[in-house]
Structure 1
């Protein structure tokens, strides 16, 4: 089909609704901000694909510029230039925002002279094929408009000869000619006018001597209720896990207020924390200042009602023993993950308060110590980064992942020497990026995290020499000097603190508006700690700029996992973050192209579900629970995707994993292990509930009638037709697996013994299995654990149908879920035309559409609901399988339903996304000749498949967007 036809049919589909017209990627559509997509994501996609563009927008805000600048940096490398027309209407656009536009070298900005200029339009020019995309509506280029507000914008596509394009092009050209260039001279004049207008309209603010009363926020209210409920159970200790900046200290003060202790003891490891905590407590609790006192190396006020003590001073036996163990009713430990230290242990063993509260943002540890045990495994409340951002409790951030400096044409590695890390050219490159991406607020207050002490010293000196005052500090820096440098940063006397392994925690510098990561990411915990340094809200700070300089580091794969707090150990999630750059509330994630490639290469190399990773997650959960964790615990705690235990090729079941972890457990027989292997390998994925429900019921009673079984299925919304019931029997009797796998049957892997028997009276477990469940307590526990974990995982799948849209399936899964009697996945390859269904599996190729247009025969999407598909060869229109595909019933409907499954590349493993049922477009069916290098041409049949439900915007981008390999 010629591109002109595609555009024509798209326009007809969107504006006329003709039955013959295809819905396509080029069909007019209404854009808005939803949980699934935002207007910015559409703009970003168009920017990444265009050859040039024009924005005509009345209003622009600086808080939308960081992700835009990152995209523009990639476009500059491709020689793509853009134009922007804005205005000084109502003096809305701030001079500093317009100054930021001047930093973008491949953007020319003009100011429209028209009074009342209120346009909101975006024009994108595309080449090969030539067409234009227009997005016009209510959305200005502001963060609220493009990410959050209720907006309507219409996206249209047109060819050069389209009357609308001609009209709009004339308007743009006319406006461009009338407008004047944004220059420093014009900007200085505008700044004076703008400041005068601001002074004229600024409201008078009455000074107040007292701070406004503070009340619990949403998180604190919920946490206070749960703390009160915890104490009602008789608990004497509890732990609050709360992201940095969410008000942990105020929460502690509110809880002290609601418990009204006679005396309270607050313990931390730094005087700086104590001073700020005291101020917060005074604001909440009130009362005379004499109620509040310090116990530290510099102040001794031990009789205070509310005592704030450093652990270093308090834990000294001579100091601690001046208090009776019951002196304090309430003990609060800040940065509680430090409480495994001997000093904390002494005071926790000595003091006997009515209640002890621990507070931390990062409870996980990499050693064998458990802070959960110290607090009796009582997690009173937990709120993580994404929840806090969604609740508006933190300052939004714009994360930019960009490539690090190239030394002699090579990106820096983990082992780069100092001469490369502190090379003058790298410092120049660093300053260029800091200046380009800028910050929110009147001046920069930056934290730079680097990898080595000598690097920090060199960089701080180099930055200072270049006119950006900076100081270095590390673990050897004294507390007094740290506090002095922090004060200088807050006062603006220095611009940057360059630090190594300091300020990951326990420091509160709300003014920080730029966080720079100049080091390899070693852990998700440290990454989030460092990101959190800038997430506190502060007057004048509308967002945090996070610049991550990504080199050729083997741990780069941790970055997308840390940004989304993903603990699943599932590569699909990380790939999705790289490809889609998700929006989190008003926060954005953007990777420049080279940085994305570096992360993807790291992700390809790493084995996320390897034993080192599994051991770490296992130990962390064991610390949290205080016992051997089971699969159900992983599923409930969402610590990882339990399916990794089925997919790891070094173990067959969780019993084997526990053996490798040297967990104390009874021995199982070979047959018991085989049964566990079966339910783990085949059923833990939860993709069909039927077998899990039946086995779970039969684990508690010796027999189940078919009526009872069907009732259980219906209660969970499952299908109960005869085909699926027969399929369940085939799975649990192992007949489904009676096919060759190498030199032996698949069924042999599971011991070769059926798990169930059935007759007219109903279903029963195999006698040996039933006997083993009754006599082997540990085997029964592991058995029921797999079934329960599988049912928990099944919640992500729709019970009433075979496949769930956009979930992933293997060919083997598909054979089972289509109720086929045998696993015929091995010879299936791209598709199989069965009498009851035809599943099709497509591996979407790089540049699929481009290759197809150049004459190569590859499967590719014409639109979000239509894919061009080819049979295997040799095939003709009269071939048996083609005729079966084209066969219709008496009502003219195709007899065989088609199910389409797609993955981006073979690097993603055996799983395919299910994208829905398809219908063949009859007019598209035709025979073609395929060319193969060194071989004769062979015939095949080409046809277009139309999805019953068009791909969602994100899935469409994920499949056809920039491939990462």
Structure 2
């Protein structure tokens, strides 16, 4: 520490804090205040991002140690890490972030140990590949878990605690780690570095030669008796069911046990059909065997699509049923006709033949099971299912949705006995964890792989090398690679396989042209470690999407565009079965300039709402969305391509509306309501209102209800409710209408009580007046009033409010009342789901949710909607909402190309309109904010392609003395006066959104 900075510690300021100087723009006083808050008084005001904090894994609170480490690596200028234990899955969680740090030239040191020979050699070898990282091994007992990250302004973030570089420590274990910010002259940082450097100097440099030596030592240790006393390398739970008797009897896993209860209840109600929807790898075949055992049928039929899984399915049943002299197992298919057995496992192609099917009486089987039942729309399945009349028929699938118009739900009388999709199965730890890497596909001379790329480009030497290099990077020195590579055409599969073989991989193209025998042999070569002709990868188009069982698959390579979220999940699911010695599966997705890239976040995160803002949120939140140790990473270009695809996607077309509507109708077996869509999370029903005035208008357009069902006035009222209130951004209007529809009139006291107790709002007169104004046809513009038929809903009384005669007349219609209840319920559901949380501010705005200018006018209780005259900001009613488009389009005029930007997550530099000076009236109002209490909510959107809505970033407070008058040039190059303010946010912008907003789009 310099003499000058040492002297600054000798002065105590008026707040009782040491007076410190500023190092290059960041106030040392901010750091000191944050330490005071963290260690002395939690109520003391300070910068939240600088405060000491506990870093833990807590799914309920959306916290992961991984996210903190990723954030630090993404923003630091240098880092030093000392940890005892490192595993492949731990490095896999951070690999993309480490690669990008190296690409930025960030240098790092990592110190670890050979203690207990715990560290996995593949993980250490992967670290050796990183050019800007030096790794050293301290021989002996090292238990430190510390991370130091250098940042700009000579500050260092130090994290010390319990977290090693393992996937469990980074994502799921109970860990305690403390993070705090220090200057580079801080005593604790100096002590930490002194000890780090002491160990570093005595440690051995990790090199290929040392790694060979370490591997040999580790292998010796593993073969000795003492190894059993050492901590094992973490493995996933295996298997998903447990052996509980000496005879090896199986009991159901969590999912299976719940499904069995539902199936029992279904049959108890007298139903004869049931549908199980369960993610691949969760044990559907075992579930069917458990249920069949509970039913104890005399004769059972199990139908499969592919010959290859007949014997595996039969073996599962034999294991579950055990030895039973009354049960004989037989196969019908593959040349076998064992029709005399009472438990028959049949391929549909053989069973559907007339000469085979006619051998059985229609009531021959008590229990029929149809595997991969989403194929049951085919004529062969229809023929078989129409022929038999069993006591119970069970259908099983991971993906019941069809693209050919077939209604699988109807085939099973809409009896969905159990539904566990990929995300739920991951949360239940029924599947293997995965690490997904979305990387940009090849670009040559400015041309990149896109939807129109021909086979010559897709199978070029350059692209083959690109794929091979990515496999080498993200395989992380996997000793035995077993993967599926999915391509778009048969020709591409064959040629790409040949190219990859010349580059040293062991691959084989397997297509629909190959026989079952050829496919089965290829699978055996992939699974085996003994065959001299063993394979590392099978290259195919779509034939391995389903119907195969290769538990030890450890890689999925997607070298094709994502045309369907269903197919994406099917292909991903191929690798998610658990297997001994398989801690996770690596997924490499080559992201080209594909129109359907927006389907990637839908498939990965399981949100099928088709809401663009939710897609962006999933991309921004990333690994917070996933449960367990699984991670999703994108390189910069791939990430931008996905965001661009989201921006460009047309997800509110009438054709898509009808597709989603018919899909949910098929699932429910009846016309769905708006709330059916909301609860099913199949499609965001708010999107309907972009093309249709209301949901009944949509149903009329689809011919589902007669146009005379509702009168013009009733439709106008439903248009008002749908367009103004269904988004649920404030519950007040919805609640008033709901209460008036039920009671006719209510007291202000009752409304206040319900708002405060059930909706967590403090009753405010301004918000109440705003609510009544909107319900009485105020606030909105005249054109909107006319389209809403100038209806008035509320009458004021001395002690409360009552329903207007117009409203009461509307409620007298059953058709209107049903539609009214539905849209009100949707609005309140949306409020509960998106806006009733700890991020909500007193003014009804919720941090990081999106709002239009019109929304903001209403939520700030303005008398009228003034969105058309608001532009970048407007001061009214002691509020000044500011709207910023962070990356402005090239077409913007020079006089409005304001340099608005973040300086840090809590500091924002903002410019007024041009032709403003420090003496301008609106500028003086902002300058008097501290005296007047002027509210300045800040809203930002990344660019205009995102639409008209802005993220609410929070309340801004201008920093006194940092305002300045400057100039901006107009189109003619003339200087125009303008005022630049520096705002401090009440709460720093969350890291993921901050990074997203600042990130420039790919040129």
Q: TM-score, normalised by structure 2?
A: 0.87
Select 1:912's aligned residue among 941, 950, 954: 950
In the other structure, the counterpart of 1:121 is 146
Residue 380 (structure 1) aligned to one of 393, 406, 417: 417
Alignment map for 1:333-352 (pairs within 5 Å): 333-352=370-389
Cα deviations by residue, 1:5-56 (Å, 9 ceiling, x for unpaired): 6251243123234899741534443322222232222222222223343333
Aligned to 2:787: 749
Distance 1:10 1:963, change over 3 A: farther
Q: Are 1:615 and 2:684 counterparts?
A: no
- Assess, with a 3 A threshold, how the Cα gap between structure 1 residues 610 and 67 changes in structure 2: closer, same or farther: farther
Separation in 2 of the partners of 1:183 and 1:711? 69
SS of the counterpart of 2:867? coil
2:500 is equivalent to residue 463 of structure 1: yes
Give ranges in structure 2 of 5+ residues lacking alignment.
1-20, 233-242, 889-896
Cα distance 1:91–1:785, how it changes in 2: closer, same or farther (>3 A)? same
Q: Separation in 2 of the partners of 1:169 and 1:228?
A: 64
1-side partners of 2:610 and 2:181: how far apart? 40
1:841 is displaced (CA, Å) by 3.7
Which residue in 2 is equivalent to 1:851? none
Deviations 1:95-154 (CA, angstroms, capped at 9, x unpaired): 233223233344332323x42233323333445x45443333322211111112222333
Query: Which residue number corresponds to residue 165 of structure 2?
Result: 141
**CA deviation map 1:57-115 (0-9, x unaligned):** 22210112234332333344434443333221221112233223233344332323x42
| Equivalent position to 1:224, from 226, 246, 260 | 260
Query: CA contact under 8 A between 1:578 and 1:591: conserved in structure 2?
Result: no
Task: Give the structure 1 partner of residue 853 of structure 2.
Answer: 811
Q: Secondary structure at the match of 2:684?
A: coil
1:11–1:28 Cα contact (<8 Å) kept: no
**Which residue, out of 286, 289, 293, partners 2:322?**
286
Residues in 2 aligned to 1:252 and 1:143: alpha-carbon distance in whole angstroms: 34
SS in structure 2 at match of 1:332: strand
Aligned partner of 1:42 among 59, 68, 71: 68
SS in 2 for 1:65: helix
Alpha carbons of structure 1 residues 357 and 68: separation in structure 2 relative to 1, 3 Å: same
Q: CA deviation at 1:582?
A: 1.9
Q: Distance in 2 between the 1:335 and 1:376 partners? A: 17
SS of 1:245's partner is: coil
- Structure 1 CA distance, aligned partners of 2:216 and 2:247? 34
CA distance in 1, matches of 2:494, 2:920: 74
Q: Note the C-alpha offset of 1:162.
A: 4.2
**Is 2:627 the counterpart of 1:588?**
no
CA contact (8 A) 1:72 1:106 kept: no
Equivalent-residue separation in structure 2 for 1:856 and 1:832 (angstroms): 16
Change in 2 beyond 3 A, CA 1:235/1:417: same
Q: Structure 1 pair 211/884, CA: closer, same or farther in 2 (3 Å)?
A: farther
- In the alignment, what sits opposite 2:251? 215
- 1:328 pairs with one of 365, 372, 381: 365
Assess if the C-alpha contact under 8 Å between 2:110 and 2:133 holds in 1.
Answer: yes
State whether residues 620 and 992 of structure 2, in contact with CA within 8 Å, keep that contact through their aligned partners in structure 1: no
**Structure 2 residue matching 1:110: 3-state secondary structure:** strand
Take 1:637 and 1:482, find their aligned partners in 2: how far apart are those partners?
A: 38
- Cα displacement (A) at 1:363: 0.7
Judge conservation of contact 1:135–1:156 (CA < 8 Å) in 2.
Answer: yes
Q: Which residue of 2 aligns with 1:852?
A: none
Aligned in 2, Cα 1:678/1:412: closer, same or farther, shift over 3 Å? same
Cα distance, 1:942–1:432 mapped onto 2, change above 3 Å? closer
Alignment check: 8 A CA contact 2:22 2:28 kept: no
Distance 1:291 1:384 in 2: 34
CA contact (8 A) 2:435 2:631 kept: yes
1:255 aligns with 2:297: no
Give the aligned partner of residue 359 of structure 1. Answer: 396
Is the contact made by 1:442 and 1:540 (CA closer than 8 Å) also made in structure 2? no
The 1:115–1:711 alpha-carbon spacing in structure 2 relative to 1, beyond 3 Å, is: closer
User: 1:573 maps to what in 2?
Assistant: 614
What residue is the counterpart of 1:501 in the other structure? 542
Matched, 1:369 2:415: no
Give the stretch that moved more between structures: 7-16 or 589-598. Answer: 7-16
Secondary structure class of the residue paired with 1:349: helix
Report the Cα offset of residue 505 of structure 1. 1.1
Q: Which residue does the alignment assign to 1:850?
A: none
Cα pair 2:122 2:477 within 8 Å, conserved: no
Secondary structure at 1:111 match in 2: strand
Residue in structure 1 matched with residue 35 of structure 2 by the alignment:
15
Give, in angstroms, the shift of residue 401 of structure 1.
Answer: 0.6
Q: What SS class does the counterpart of residue 557 from structure 1 fall into?
A: helix
Q: Could you tell me whether the CA contact under 8 Å between 1:332 and 1:357 is conserved in 2?
A: yes
Corresponding residue number in structure 2 for 1:401: 438
Two-structure CA RMSD over aligned residues (Å): 3.3
How many residues align? The count is: 941
- Equivalent residue number for residue 53 of structure 2: 29
User: In 2 relative to 1, CA 265–813 (structure 1 residues): closer, same or farther, beyond 3 Å?
Assistant: same
Q: Deviations over 1:459-494 (max 9, x none)?
A: 222333333222111222222221121111111411
Cα 1:74–1:860 change in 2 (3 A) is: closer
- Specify whether residues 576 and 798 from structure 1 end up closer, same or farther in structure 2 by C-alpha distance, changes over 3 A only: closer
Correspondences of 1:150-169 after superposition (within 5 Å): 150-169=174-193
Q: Is 1:630 matched with 2:673?
A: yes
Deviations 1:899-936 (A, max 9, x none): 44443444332323334455666x55645434445344
Partner residue in 2 for 1:431: 468
1:867-882, aligned counterparts within 5 Å? 867=908, 872=913
Deviation at 1:176, TM superposition (A): 4.0
Residue 111 to residue 705, structure 1, CA distance change in 2 (3 Å):
closer
1:163/1:4 CA distance change after superposition, 3 Å: farther
1:655-734 equivalences under 5 Å are 655-667=696-708, 668-699=710-741, 713=755, 716-717=758-759, 720-734=763-777
Secondary structure (helix, strand or coil) at the match of 1:725 reads helix
Q: For 2:773, what is the secondary structure of its paired residue?
A: helix
Provide the residue aligned with 1:319 in structure 2.
Answer: 356
